[in-house]
Chains A and B, each alone.
Chain A
Amino acid sequence: MNSGQRANVDTHRLRFNAMGCPCEITLEHTDELCAQRAALAARAEVERLDAKYSHYRDDNLLAEIIVAAASADGASVDDETADLLDFAAALHAQSGGRFDITAGALTKLWDLQAGRVPADAEVAAALARTGWQRVRWNRPQLHFSTPGMRLDLGGVVKEYAADRAAQRCRDQGVAHGVVDLGGDLAVVGKHADGTAWRAGIKAARAHDPHETPGAFASIELSHGGLATSGDYERAMIVDGRRYSHIIDPRSGQPLESFASVSVLGESCLVAGAASTIGMLLGPREGYAWLQQLGLPFLCVGADGAISGTLAAADRT
């Protein structure tokens, strides 16, 4: 049945910056205008979520919720935020308390720009303002029992946004494409010719912190999402010692883990949750957890060693 002719499909790309990372939407469609409309709608969705949940801003909904949650009455949140909080609560439970959206004070303390290791007293003070267990969450009411707590939904919003953006493209009648938000991917649909998308996994720094990361492995994905958690992008070296930006919210200390964990899932949201928890649980516990989870995954160790069920995937 194949005429041998290539489909009259145009590839339409839209690049932009959102959620603190470079984003790219790639769509294939016979109608350029349709692809353009879909890409713009998808970008608008990403920007909406970025504006709503960015923790770098103090004029958005998240900031309002934080202020209100600290008040005596607490905050009443909208449905979408409530769903995100429910999801975050489930991740907190699944990760034995390591995935914690209230770790904002700790993350800020270990701010990588500072270039210094915080004092124990500072860590203790931040720890006192951290912990999902200090939050009373009775949907839709959110209440902080300790003053000065922060919320950071960055660990789920980007993946959620990727899925939402891909859905917007499908809603607009685009069946082939992929949404890439800084390495977190959500598939709109396979290539127009029916083949899967190939995604590059960025290499870790391994032993040399100055080594430029490049793509070292490629993974095929035909639907769902691919998410990567890693600390190769942000880490700090003080007195020759490397401090990961992954902070254990229970001890307040950076934890040694993989250089990166990538997971394929039915959605980018699920893939992202799995890769983040795998990362937070560390090399031994995390690996075992990912194995029993059952989703295809790829781990890059701090020493550059590759493992996981996707390790056999062909390398570039």
Chain B
Amino acid sequence: MSTQRSLSPSLAALLGAAAALGQAHAQSAAESDSHVGYRFNEYGEDSFHGDAIGSRERYEVYSQQFQLDTRVGSGALDVNATHEVMSGSSPWYVIPGPDNRPIQVLSGATIKEHRNELRAAYTLAPGTSSSTTFSASYSNERDYRATAVGAEHSFPLSNSLTLGAGGSFSHDIIEPTDAELYQRVLHEEKNTASVFGSLAWVLDKASVLQAGVQLNHENGYLSDPYKLVSVGSDILPDHRPGERTEAALLVRYRHAFDRPAAALHLDYRYAQDSWGVVAHTFDAAWYQRFGAGWQLVPGVRYYTQQAARFYAPFYAGGEHDFQSSDFRLGTFGAFSASLNLRKRIARWEISAGIERYHASADYAAFRGSDSAVPGVLSYTRGFIGVDYNFN
């Protein structure tokens, strides 16, 4: 059936005439399949248990997500809108207690803060191994605005190899609340540029291995305007370097099983940044399908990181280049377990899930840093969702 050899004039005429018809009449096929979804998420941190001063009202986030996937022209448009309401107290700074034991100071409970985000992505040649996606997003809350754009492209190298590459750029504006009252910065900006490349390798009929690398570079104001640091007898603002470069390596493995009808997902991520933070993430999930449209997905995750070079719960008096007692820059480890359930009923799909995340300095795979992380927290997250597919 090869058309590579020289064509007969009649076949050339037929192919030429057919070529015009081969061009998809996209507009006439506009009545294509679409999908809308709604999800309600609840995130609640555990109450603070250690030595602490201040409000112990736990931090909570309620979020609602609306999603629309539809065809526009020959491509696929994906629009996502999120509204979040956040409230509660969070770690503020740490002071040394008797015997230098760290005592966490918690901020007063915030009033309800709102965040709105709109994301849109347009994919050309969706569902093929040669697709291109353009994306843009905007997020707005009282003290933070973020605008991001991105693009990625995948193309097949052979029947079993697909190369993917992309990049994104984000520009964020930080305007802390009560800045004058607490002598916080008034207006700061931050830029993040990312590039990534990945190679997906179809090992056999049932398994795929994907490996990727990602480079992120941030510059601008990278400190947390609300966090303070105890330095000697002073309480000073959180102060981090103005630049950070992170390199990450990602490996993903997928294996599908016939009996039982299931799929195993194994992911590993290694990341290292110029502040000295080194992190490992291991993820495993089992996608089990049952009859009548049921799907159950149990998953586990282990995360561990080594502290940034300049992290300390509190500092001795004197000059320091950088200072931060944000537990997110400390040495700790975390285990999480999740269970998601989906049920398809004709064109509807109902889903629900729960995740329990528990973090502690004791779970860290890294040793050699005896810096305490008193603020480290655990949380529970749950969601319910409904999806509808239509033409």
Contact = CB atoms under 8 A, between A and B. Distances in A.
B1 A264 contact: yes
Contacts of B20: 83, 86-87
A41 B391 contact: yes
Contact of B7 (A1, A2, A265, A294): A294
A270 B14 contact: yes
B16 A90 contact: yes
A80 B25 contact: yes
Contacts of A94: 10, 13-14
Chain B binding surface, main DSSP class: mixed
Contacts of A86: 17, 20
Given A266-B3, A269-B18, A270-B15, A40 B33 contact: yes
Interface string B202-223: 0111110000000000000000
Contact of B205 (A33, A192, A274): A192
A51 to B, nearest CB: 12
A144 to B, nearest CB: 22
A226 to B, nearest CB: 10
Given A45-B29, A266-B1, A8 B22 contact: no
A154 to B, nearest CB: 15
Interface string B19-55: 0111111011101110000000000000000000000
A45 B29 CA distance: 7
Interface residues of A, number: 56
A184 interface: no
A86 B16 CA distance: 11
Interface string A156-193: 00001001100110111110000000000000000011
Interface string A52-82: 0000000000000000000000000011100
B17 A293 contact: no
A30 to B, nearest CB: 6
A52 to B, nearest CB: 9
B188 to A, nearest CB: 43
A171 B7 CA distance: 29
Interface string A262-276: 001111011001100
A8 B18 contact: no
A272 B209 CA distance: 41
B205 A7 contact: yes
B280 interface: no
B263 A3 contact: no
Given A45-B29, A294-B7, A5 B203 contact: no
A84 B21 contact: yes
B205 A294 contact: no
Given A30-B256, A172-B33, A293-B10, A160 B204 contact: no
Contacts of A171: 32, 71, 74, 126-127
Nearest to B10: A293
Nearest to B23: A83
Contacts of B7: 294
A137 interface: no
Contacts, number: 133
B367 interface: no
B328 interface: no
A223 to B, nearest CB: 8
Contact of B204 (A3, A33, A269, A274): A3
A3 B13 CA distance: 47
A294 B11 contact: yes
Contact of B24 (A91, A167, A192, A269): A167
Contacts of A6: 205-206, 258
Contacts of B293: 33
Contacts of B158: none
Contact of B18 (A37, A45, A87, A192): A87
B17 A90 contact: yes
Nearest to B349: A33
Contacts of A84: 21
B207 to A, nearest CB: 7
A274 B1 CA distance: 13
- Among B20, B27, B31, B203, the most chain A Cβ lie within 10 Å of the Cβ of B20
A131 to B, nearest CB: 20
Contacts of B126: 171, 173
Contacts of A8: 206, 256-258, 261-263
Nearest to B262: A8
B128 interface: yes
A282 B58 CA distance: 85
A269 B21 CA distance: 9
B389 interface: yes
B275 to A, nearest CB: 40
Contacts of A2: 204-205
- Among A5, A264, A289, the most chain B Cβ lie within 10 Å of the Cβ of A5
A81 to B, nearest CB: 10
Contact of B1 (A5, A172, A224, A273): A224
A48 interface: yes
Contact of B21 (A87, A274, A294, A296): A87
Contacts of B28: 48, 78-80
A7 B256 contact: yes
A48 B204 CA distance: 38
Nearest to B203: A1
Interface in B250-275: 255-258, 261-263
Given A1-B203, A292-B8, 18 more contacts: A2-B205, A3-B203, A6-B206, A7-B206, A37-B33, A40-B33, A79-B28, A87-B18, A87-B21, A90-B14, A90-B16, A94-B10, A170-B127, A171-B74, A267-B18, A270-B14, A270-B18, A274-B11
24 contacts: A1-B203, A5-B206, A7-B258, A8-B261, A9-B256, A37-B33, A40-B33, A41-B33, A41-B391, A44-B391, A79-B27, A83-B21, A87-B17, A87-B18, A87-B20, A91-B17, A94-B13, A170-B127, A171-B71, A223-B1, A273-B17, A294-B5, A295-B1, A295-B11
Q: Which 9 A-B pairs have the closest CB atoms?
A: A173-B127, A8-B256, A90-B17, A7-B205, A2-B204, A80-B25, A6-B258, A294-B8, A83-B21
Interface of B: 1, 3, 5, 7-8, 10-11, 13-18, 20-25, 27-29, 31-33, 71, 74, 126-128, 203-207, 255-258, 261-263, 293, 344, 349, 389, 391
